[in-house]
Structure 1
Amino acid sequence: MTTFDDRERAFETKFARDEDMAFRITARRNRLLGVWAAELMNLTPEETGSYATSVVQADFEESGDEDVVRKLLGDMLAAGVEIDDASIREALTSKTIEARRQLMTAE
Structure 2
Amino acid sequence: MNSLSDRAKAHEAEFKHREEMEFRVTARRNRLFGLWAASVQGLSGEAADSYALLVIAADFQAPGDEDVIAKVRADLAGKASDAEVRAELDRAAAEARRQLAAS
TM-score range with shorter-chain normalisation?
over 0.9
Task: Give identity over the alignment, percent.
Answer: 47
- SS of residue paired to 1:43: coil
Cα distance in 2, alignment partners of residues 99 and 70 from structure 1: 20
Q: Distance in 1 between matches of 2:44 and 2:23?
A: 28
Give the Cα–Cα distance (whole angstroms) in 1 for the partners of residues 3 and 44 of structure 2: 57
Moved over 4 A (4+): none
Deviations 1:25-79 (A, max 9, x none): 00000000000011111013121010000000000000000000000000111xx
Which residue does 2:87 correspond to in 1? Answer: 90
Residue pairs, 1:73-84, within 5 angstroms: 73-77=73-77, 80-81=78-79, 83-84=80-81
CA distance in structure 2 between the aligned counterparts of 1:54 and 1:24, rounded to whole angstroms: 17
How far apart in 2 are the matches of 1:30 and 1:90?
13
Stretches of structure 2 lacking an aligned partner (at least 5 in a row): none
The separation in 1 between residues aligned to 2:69 and 2:81, in whole angstroms, is: 10
Does residue 65 of structure 2 align to residue 65 of structure 1?
A: yes
Cα distance in 1 between the residues matched to 2:88 and 2:22: 18
Number of matched residues?
103
Asked if residue 40 in structure 1 is aligned to residue 37 in structure 2, the reply is no
What TM-score does the superposition give when structure 1 sets the normalisation length? 0.93
SS at structure 2 position matched to 1:60: coil
Structure-2-length-normalised TM-score: 0.97
Per mean C-alpha deviation after superposition, the further-off stretch among 24-33 and 85-94 is 85-94
The whole-number CA distance in structure 1 between the counterparts of 2:44 and 2:6 is: 53
Aligned to 1:27: 27
Asked if residue 99 in structure 1 is aligned to residue 99 in structure 2, the reply is no
